[in-house]
Each structure stands twice: as structure tokens, then as C-alpha cells.
Amino acid sequence: MFSRLAGIGSFLPGPAVSNDDLARRGIETSDEWVTSRTGIKFRHLAENGETASDLAVEASRRALAAAGLDAGDLDLIIVATSTPDVIFPSTACLLQSKLGNHGATAFDIQAVCSGFVYALTVADKFIQSGSHRRALVVGAEVFSKILDWSDRATCVLFGDGAGAVVLEAAEKPGILATALHADGSYHGILSVPGSVCGGKVTGDPFLRMDGQSVFKFAVRALAEVADECCRLAGVPQSGIDWLIPHQANIRILEATARKMKLPMDKVVVTVDRHGNTSAASVPLALDEAVRDGRIVAGQKVLLEGVGGGFTWGAVLFEL
């Protein structure tokens, strides 16, 4: 038994917010600084009160429509998010309720910016085992709610959004290979260290990052896991039609493509218009490139994630 991608959808909240808009809102930054260091020009920000499941439900409806399925057809719902609506129940259960599905297995995955790649891998394993046949896999984030808007080194980097994929059982792959890794000894270089205890937030509730350490880790991890995933699938890196790495920074994407000897025109780039949307970035980019006709049936696509934990991973599939 294999799994294949049957439908993809995505959703971005509100209007695009430019670097100049952020500067006008009082953040001590410039379009020149943000563009030259990160490639980011715009991001979308959720309204107050707009949650990860609100974004997820829109992306999911689009993915279900693309697959020609109803929510009732799903027997597995996995949401990758680090910005859940509430501590519990899971965002997957809240999404399930909004979609009107009753009875499917539903849970969240917390692997920060690798979350979608983790969730897709887990769904693939469920389907391969024969226990489930139709999975909805979502990356949904409202990172704007965990940003310290007085910390210009982090707040300019992130945006909100959601992307979703319907994965279904198939006679032939579909997903060709997956690889997931983590090394918790790097937990300190990217984290939200606070927690809730005794009715209070204890510790720092905002995202904190050692940007340069993250940059170096990300470039190495993305190159290594791309190599590993291609070897597992028996596909040479030159045989990849499209590379979709986590959209953190254009310089990380360029360095990864360089290490893989892939030209940038084989890399899907959305970081310029979405910023870093954590677990949502890969399915958002995938949806854009499928809808605009760049990625077509029969092509091989390598998805890659890297993020807090540290976690990293890749999924190679044929559309």
C-alpha cells in the first residue's frame, strides 16, 4: 500500500503587509535591511482572535475541493502547528469540528517549522500500514501572536497562513521516501521558553532565536536530509523536478540549492511574499506551484523542513 497526494489547498489571512508598513508601525527597520538579509518583502498577519484552526479550515476546504472529496470521507486529520488555538483540545480536533467530520483519528504534531514534513510522513505511515485510507494533513500557524513586536531581529521574519494536503491510499507511490530527524540538544537556539502554570504565564512567552546559529544549522541539515531522502528513494538529486524547502530566508534556500547543484529556477520560492510561516510554509508553496501550473503530474518534488527542536526532515513524492 502506498499514499499519493490527491488535493492541495492553502489560505493566507488579511492583506499583504510590507516591510515599509512595519517600519510605519514603529518597528525600527527598513525594507533595505529585511530584503537584503532575508529576501522577505511581505507577510500576512491574522486578525486578533483569528486562530490557527480558522486558517486551517479554509486551506482544508480548498484541498478537499481539489481532491473532489467531502470532510466526511476523511479517516485521519493531522495538524502541524506550534501556535495552537488553545492548550487543549488539539487544533486538529477543533478543525475536525469546523469541517463537520465525526470519528476520524485527529491529533496535532509539534515539530515547529518541520511540522508539515513530520505530519505528512506520519500520515504516509498510517496509510502504508493499511489502518487509514484518506488523510488531511495541515500546516497552520499564527506566529504573529508569539512574536515580540519590540524585537526587530525576529518580528520582521514571520507571517501567518495555512496549507493542506489530502493524502489517499494508492496502488503505486505517491510518496517515494521520507526522512525525519531531531536533536534536542539544540533546543536553546530557537524557542518560546514560557509556559502556563498556576493561572499565570511563567517565563518568556515570545519567540527567541539565535539567528546565526539557526542559519548555519538550517543550511547543513537541509543539504544532508535532501541527500538522505534521495538515496532512500533511489533517485539522483539531478532527477528532482522541484525543490520546496521550508521558506525561512532566501539565503538559506539559495545555499541549499547550491549544495544540491540545483538551479534556483527549480526551487519554489514564496518567502518574499509570505515571510516565514513555520509549519505552513511548505504546503503554501506547494499549493502555489501546483495551482499556477509549474508542478505537473508525474514530476518529482522534494519537500524539506527544518526548525525548532531542532527538527529536520524531507519527503520525496511524485505528483
Give the catalytic positions in this structure: 113, 246, 276
Out of 17, 31, 35, 37, the only residue in the binding site for ligand UT7 (CB under 6 A) is 37
**Span near ligand UT7 by CB under 6 A; candidates 32-40, 230-238, 254-262, 310-318:** 32-40
How many residues make contact with ligand UT7 (CB under 6 A)? 18
Q: In terms of CB distance, is 175 or 225 closer to ligand UT7?
A: 225
Q: Residue 191, interface with ligand UT7 (CB under 6 A)? A: no
> CA–CA separation, 101 vs 7, rounded Å?
18
CB of 160 to ligand UT7, least distance (A): 14
Out of 45, 111, 113, 279, the only residue in the binding site for ligand UT7 (CB under 6 A) is 113
Out of 16, 31, 33, 149, the only residue in the binding site for ligand UT7 (CB under 6 A) is 33
Q: Residue 29, interface with ligand UT7 (CB under 6 A)? A: yes
CB of 248 to ligand UT7, least distance (A): 3
Task: Determine how β-strand 42-44 pairs with β-strand 200-202.
Answer: unpaired
Q: Residue 284, interface with ligand UT7 (CB under 6 A)? A: no
> CA–CA separation, 231 vs 276, rounded Å?
28
Q: Own/partner pairs for 35-38, CB < 8 Å, 24+ apart?
A: 37/249, 37/251, 38/156, 38/157, 38/249, 38/250, 38/251, 38/271
Q: Residue 38, interface with ligand UT7 (CB under 6 A)? A: yes
Q: Residue 214, interface with ligand UT7 (CB under 6 A)? A: yes
**Span near ligand UT7 by CB under 6 A; candidates 60-68, 95-103, 151-159, 174-182:** 151-159
Out of 84, 245, 275, 307, the only residue in the binding site for ligand UT7 (CB under 6 A) is 307
Q: In terms of CB distance, is 144 or 276 closer to ligand UT7?
A: 276
Apex 90 CA angle, 105 and 107, nearest 5: 30
CB-neighbour burial class of residue 164 (10 A; exposed 0-12, middle 13-18, buried 19+): buried
Torsion of CA 98, 248, 115, 309, to 10 degrees: -130
> CA–CA separation, 183 vs 140, rounded Å?
23
CB of 134 to ligand UT7, least distance (A): 30
Residue nearest to ligand UT7 (CB): 211
Let me know: does 84 contact 108? Beta carbons within 8 Å.
yes
Out of 152, 208, 259, 294, the only residue in the binding site for ligand UT7 (CB under 6 A) is 152
**Closest listed residue to residue 112, CA positions, set 140, 85, 88:** 140
Let me know: does 126 contact 97? Beta carbons within 8 Å.
no
Q: Residue 248, interface with ligand UT7 (CB under 6 A)? A: yes
> CA–CA separation, 168 vs 129, rounded Å?
12
Q: CA quadruple 57, 61, 67, 69: dihedral positive or negative? A: positive
Out of 79, 156, 262, 267, the only residue in the binding site for ligand UT7 (CB under 6 A) is 156
DSSP 3-state assignment of 163?
strand
Contacts with ligand UT7, residue ranges (CB under 6 A): 29, 33-34, 37-38, 113, 152-153, 156, 209, 211-212, 214-215, 248-249, 276, 307
